[in-house]
Amino acid sequence: MKKITILMLYLLFAAGLWAQTEVQQIRKLSYFNQTQVALLIGEESEDQTRKALIPSFQTVNGIRIGENWGLGIGLGVEPYEYVAFPVFFSSYYFFNAEKASPYFAFKGGYSFANSHKNLNYYYNGKYDNKGGWMFNPEIGIRFKASTFEITLSSGYRFQRLNSNITQDGSLYTYNRRVDYKRVSFALGIMF
């Protein structure tokens, strides 16, 4: 009975220390910014026959929660057939290491567009390009420098873009939806 009591007291003490460590980790909040330039490799148009290389620029501002987690809000610019402006939430899981360490990220949100550009695919008429949903899982590695980190990453980018097209002389509106599925390669800086 004495051994069981000592074991129970030990387990309670260890659980208390673990809980205290977790609370201290959560209380450690710090700001971070990650700015990336990426290349998106995939299909160019809705007929999906031509390959294309599209540049992407994104910046994320967020908070690190403890040593391993990060949450942020990001903005970007990507020139598909017309320019899309992604606004997204991002979450990160950072592994700890001295000079180089891997990380996982997930970005998801909506890309806005304010373009009435005629895409020359179907009709002459009025184009109302709307934008659409975007998500991007990513895996990367961070290299520590003196006051910042350099990041290299790759991932999968899904981008949906919607357009409403009204043909000249017609009341008919064509709803066009294009899904872009691309591989991303990014170089960034994080501080």
Place of tokens 């567009």: 113
- Cα angle for residues 117, 87, 83 (degrees, 5° grid): 20
Percentage of the chain modeled with pLDDT above 90: 46
27 against 34, higher pLDDT? 34
Count Cβ atoms within 10 A of the Cβ of residue 103 and give its class: 0-12 exposed, 13-18 middle, 19 or more buried. buried
The residue to which tokens 């960034």 are assigned = 188
In this prediction, residue 20 has a pLDDT band, given cuts at 50, 70 and 90, of: very low
Alpha carbon 43 to its chain centroid, in Å, reads 20
Residue for token digits 């997204």?
A: 88
Is the pLDDT higher at 106 or at 12?
106
**Residue 182 carries which side chain, given as an amino acid letter?**
R
Q: What is the mean pLDDT of residues 107-127?
A: 74
Q: What global pTM score does this model have? A: 0.77
Instruction: Return the domain boundaries, the chain.
Output: 29-190
29-190, CATH topology level: Porin (2.40.160)
Q: Rounded to an integer, what distance in angstroms lies between the CA atom of residue 134 and that of residue 129?
A: 15
